Structure 1
Amino acid sequence: MSEDKKFRSGFAALLGRPNVGKSSIINALLKEKVAAVSPKPQTTRNAVRCIYTSEDEQIVFVDTPGIHVPQHALGDFMMKEAEESLMLVDAVCYVVEAQDRAVSEKDEIILKVLENVSQPVVLAVNKIDKLADFEDYKKAAAVYEKYIKPAAVVPVSANNHRGLDELAAAISALLPEQPPIYPEDMLMDSTERFLASEVIREKIFRHTNEEVPHGVAVIIDEFKSPDEFPDKKVCDIRATIIVDRPGQKGIIIGKNGAMLKQIGSEARKELEEKFGYKVFLQLWVKVKPGWRKSPEELRRLGYNS
């Protein structure tokens, strides 16, 4: 740590409409894939804590579920997670796009939530790599500055890793002076079981059509790792993919099981990289009609606050 700079640590909520690049910013900052990235809305369902630690600060990013108008019980759960996350943080990082020239309906919902937030807000203007003129990011910032008074405006590009240090510094300046909250080598406050379910779910998002992801949950039925069972050389994972309708089951399984095999293969490879040992992954697909609308079913599937 610098001699003239005291260590700061605290929590920062990440807000932004779908596809704006919240998870990409986290992954770029941490130089590790810790957050699910997908072009599909509401990729993040739980408030996931990702931890950025440098010589001078530790920022615990709470990558919140997308703030939106709930359409079912799962949506209610996600909104509750997001709102509760905002109550517990020291600062908010609101991510918008450099090409924005008007406030979208989804951003209107977020801005309405921010009206009731007392924490300082850093406005991160992402995707500056798409601008012909770098200075044009200020036009996007001006759109949102009509509604909020950000403590700082930072132009960034998650894809090109530009502006990330500046973003971390702007957020860090708003955090209390205190020792780190987590060990410096810790990247995520989640269990390996949760990480496994998120990796599998992301692969489903990447390979299926628009109607499938919102109707999907992944339950880890069995997780036996060499860490827990020293006699094992391979991590055994058995997971069930829950869908709304039989047609979704058919899409995920694919012709002669090809899609399910591809999802499983890609998930296994990524989990092996993350865990550092071989993984034997078994996937099953089960239909539970209307699970997203049932509070009881959501609790059984782990979506409960």
Structure 2
Amino acid sequence: MTDNILSLEAILASAELAQSADELAAHSDYKAGFAAVIGRPNVGKSTIMNELLGQKLSITSHKPQTTRHRIHGIHTTDTHQIVYVDTPGMHLGGQKSINDYMNRTANSAFADVDVILFVVEAGRWSSEDQAVAKKLQGSPTPVVVLVNKIDNFKNKEDLFPYLQKVAANVEFTTLIPISAYKRNGLDLVEKEVLKYLPNQAKLFPEEYITDRSTRFLASEIIREKLMRSLGEEVPYGATVEIEQLKFNEDQNRWEVNALILVERPGQKQIVIGNKGSLIKEMGIQARKDLTTLLDGRVHLELWVKIKENWSDDARALASLGYDDNYSS
């Protein structure tokens, strides 16, 4: 009997080894890894990531510092899985706690990635671009420079002096001119990224498009409408907190309650608008995207609340999800 048991154990162990060998062989040609998308504010980082993913994940607007968090966008195929890391724009100035948080978040993307995509805007080189380039000096991680918005140049030869300037200021392995808006050059970006990814199994299940929660994505959708609807002052003093996100089976719909937090009474009135017109329009636009996100009917309620100095209060920031070790 003992011999039989030992034989059975040996057979099971052999089967497990064979399975492990089969899995290893199956992944020997599979590539998976991380690509950080960095740069100063408003160069199109989030748009680039959305286009590379083939779907909208990161929110966008024409205002700088729209992206405030690190967001992983996961692109999975039969041959590879690329985890794009979208980051807040690295910026100079801004003395509030939220500015420190965003810069820390952007800097953290340098660690444990396989390739860095440094995005710059064609024809423009600022002190913030220079600051990012300085951080990249001596980086052991390969750097690919993406020169975005080349569609702004009718004559591409006019780009050459700018490309020479970038080459003189940045240590990089490859430079790729692109237009995220027109999707020009993005296929080259993916091919370049794949050169630096290790052969290994998937890092996330293939059905994942991000590691962020639905609650987080819902809050970002609402904040995007806020950023797009308001003037220059209010968006930077406003954030969104989801109070409730649940499915009501009796009503066959999702119920989402969200707070728009501002820092001053005057900002509250601006967000609400004349007779509630602005917040109503934001709700209509947000509901459309939430319906897509949640794949069902949505009842959305928005409220505006004053939370003084939240953007310069470390504890308030942490409670609102501005945390270096996010779990939302």
TM-score w.r.t. length of structure 1: 0.92
Deviation at 1:25, TM superposition (A): 1.0
**SS at 1:39 equivalent:** coil
Question: For 1:121 and 1:7, how far apart are their aligned partners in 2?
Answer: 22
- In structure 2, stretches of 5+ residues that fail to align are 1-25
Structure (1/2) with the larger helix percentage = 2
Contact 1:122–1:152 (8 Å) recurs in 2: yes
2:124 counterpart of 1:105: no
Find the residue that maps to 2:110 and give its secondary structure. Answer: helix
| 1:17-71 deviation line (CA, Å, top 9, x unaligned) | 2221111111212221111111111111110111123343221111111112341
Provide the alpha-carbon RMSD of the alignment. 1.8
Secondary structure in 1 matching 2:169: coil
Matched residue count: 297
1:126 aligns with 2:148: yes
| Partner Cα separation in structure 2 for residue 135 and residue 174 of structure 1 | 30
Map 1:121-270; keep pairs closer than 5 Å.
Answer: 121-225=143-247, 233-270=252-289
Alignment of 1:92 onto 2:116: yes
Q: Percent identity?
A: 41
| Bigger Rg over Cα | 2
Q: Whole-Å Cα distance in 2 between the matches of residues 265 and 198 of structure 1?
A: 15
Which residue, 100, 103, 109 being the options, matches 1:79? Answer: 103
Could you say which residue in structure 2 is the equivalent of 1:32? 55
133-142 vs 77-86, which moves further: 133-142
Counterpart-to-counterpart distance in 2, 1:158 and 1:288: 37
Q: Give the Cα separation in 2 of the matches to 1:151 and 1:121.
A: 6
- The corresponding residue for 1:7 is 30
The amino acid that maps onto 1:91 is V
Partner of 2:66: 43
Contact 1:120 / 1:151 at 8 angstroms: preserved in 2?
Answer: yes
Measure, in 2, the Cα distance between the counterparts of 1:63 and 1:138.
28
Aligned 8 A contact 1:268 1:280 in 2: yes
Q: CA deviation at 1:135?
A: 4.5
Amino acid at match of 2:111: M
TM-score by length of 2: 0.86
Comparing 5-14 with 273-282, greater Cα deviation is found at: 5-14
Q: Which amino acid aligns with 2:177?
A: P
Rounded Cα–Cα distance in structure 1 between residues aligned with 2:247 and 2:138: 44
Cα offset, 1:232, TM superposition = 5.7
